[in-house]
Amino acid sequence: WQKREISNFDYLMYLNTLAGRSYNDYMQYPVFPWVLADYHSKILNLTSPHTFRDLSKPMGAQTVERKCKFIQRYKEVEKSEGDLSAQCHYCTHYSSAIIVASYLVRMEPYTQTFCSLQGGSFDVADRMFHSVKSTWESASRDNMSDVRELIPEFFYLPEFLTNANHFELGCMQDGTVLGDVQLPPWADGDPHKFILLHRQALESDYVSAHLHRWIDLIFGYKQHGSAAVEAVNTYHPYFYGDKMDLNNIKDPLIKSTILGFISNFGQIPKQV
């Protein structure tokens, strides 16, 4: 990878596999980074650093204001591991079954998966994945309970962005009827162009030079411990599957609560 003999996409898939992530498990689905921060320009400039997301910081620290809020949350909660109020920056996760299914909801079998996770129906229209720009703004700036990253399909599968099956996904409060995913202006309304440019962004010189910083956060030494605290990158203890020894928990209610928490909110990848 350092010699540029394999692509960034292939390297990330390799790391995901090493870390136990798999297409066969929605709870441990391959995780990919947001690489762009520009979802408003008519032309995408891949030579400008301002076009890109800060790969050295988790999604919760993309803006100074948001980062300060999560640091404040961390300081306010006394450490009490094994408790739902344990000390951490984030009580939600960047990858979970519902996040994966929500991205892919316009394609079967993910449509049925999403509905089953939602109790049998689609979510409220305003909460559905309907716009790349608004999803980025939610995960990077606006929503304190949203720190989601991306999935591999954002870099190779245009079909998940179109409502080819004509599912009735509902109507938003502003009157917008949900259909195809709204794309950034630089994609010209073309899912194939979006995927092409997005993949070019992933393989760009800027991302190639900074991708290792994101890898440290997700798969490496900034995943937990003091380095994670310093990087504003700590999650609820239940998310660290390899750190939780369920065999030592005798109370079936506590055990089922932890398992439910993990299945709903996701897991940290194994450290590579």
Which tokens sit at 26? 């929605």
Q: Please report the domains of the chain, with CATH numbers, ordered by start residue.
A: 8-263 (1.10.1540.10)
Mean pLDDT, the chain cut into blocks of 10 residues (272 residues total): 95 97 94 98 97 98 97 80 71 93 96 92 92 98 96 98 95 93 98 98 97 98 94 90 69 77 80 90
Residue 192, number of CB atoms within 10 A of its CB: 11
Residue 4, number of CB atoms within 10 A of its CB: 9
Residue 139, number of CB atoms within 10 A of its CB: 20
**This model's pTM is above 0.75:** yes
pLDDT of residue 259: 74
Dihedral sign computed on CA atoms, order 246, 22, 2, 222: negative
* Of 249, 199, 260, 245, residue with least CA distance to 32: 199
What DSSP string runs through 20-40? T--TT-GGG---B---B---S
Helix (H, G, I), strand (E, B) or coil at 220: coil
Cα–Cα distance measured from residue 159 to residue 116, given in angstroms and rounded to the nearest whole number: 22
Cα–Cα distance measured from residue 35 to residue 206, given in angstroms and rounded to the nearest whole number: 10
Which tokens sit at 28? 């441990």
DSSP β-bridge partners for residue 162: none
Which tokens sit at 247? 């065999």
pLDDT of residue 206: 97
Which tokens sit at 177? 């009827």
pLDDT of residue 242: 63
pLDDT of residue 79: 58
pLDDT of residue 85: 60
- Summarize pLDDT for 89-117 with one digit per residue, the tens: 998 899 999 999 999 999 999 999 999 98
Cα–Cα distance measured from residue 226 to residue 44, given in angstroms and rounded to the nearest whole number: 37
Which tokens sit at 167? 């599912």
Cα–Cα distance measured from residue 65 to residue 191, given in angstroms and rounded to the nearest whole number: 33
pLDDT of residue 244: 64
What's the alpha-carbon Rg for the chain, to the nearest Å? Answer: 19
